[in-house]
Amino acid sequence: MLTQNLIQVGDKAPDFSAIAVHEQEFKEIHLSDYKGKYLILLFYPLDFTFVCPTEITSFSDMFDQIKSLNAEILGISVDSEYCHLAWMQLDRESGGVGDLKYPLVSDLSKQISLSYNVLNHEGKSLRGLFIIDPEGIIQHILVNNLDVGRSVNETLRTLQAIQYVQGNPDEVCPANWQPGHATIKNNPLYAKEYFRSI
């Protein structure tokens, strides 16, 4: 019997291995392949749908900027690798995704979606987004229902904020923080400097 796993920010990311499609080829990937890098896991319901290709292609279009931050992306759905390949071989104007800059992972067994607690009652993956740090720790979780797409720009901003506070452990990022903006000292006395400045 399949059982959901309850995970939260700060937990070790559940390990997995699976077949992925990248550059028109099948390859086996392991979560451990990405140790030492930040990793964005991008769960989505199904290939050949409506919201999904807008997300998948938007993340691909921003991939170089994300990669420049020592980060990679894996798209994951419960489709087979053959379905992924067919979707990639269809151009965007026809509802496909074309060539992508990151792999799409087949979770046909639904075990990965279960382990990340994003499998819904219909057997589809919800729109789960996880940012995992180079040590394999989950730093961010966002889960949308099927009909609402995610923001690539907000994902990028969140990744940058995570990297900033990990590199500056005495500081925290306030709401709507952007790179180059003021942060808050993680100290009651020094924090007042920020609040006086806004």
Of 20, 31, 52, 74, the catalytic one is 52
User: Around Cβ 40, how many Cβ atoms within 10 Å?
Assistant: 24
Strands (E) located in 145-196: 171-172, 184-185
- Residues 110 and 12 sit within 8 Å (Cβ to Cβ): no
The H or E element that residue 142 is part of is strand 138-144
Asked if 173 is an active-site residue, the reply is no
What type of residue is 60? S
Which burial class, exposed, middle or buried, applies to 73 when counting CB atoms under 10 A from its CB (0-12, 13-18, 19+)? Answer: buried
Residue 90 to residues 58, 87, 98, Cα–Cα distance (Å) = 16, 5, 6
Tokens of 25: 């080829």
What is the set of active-site residues? Answer: 52
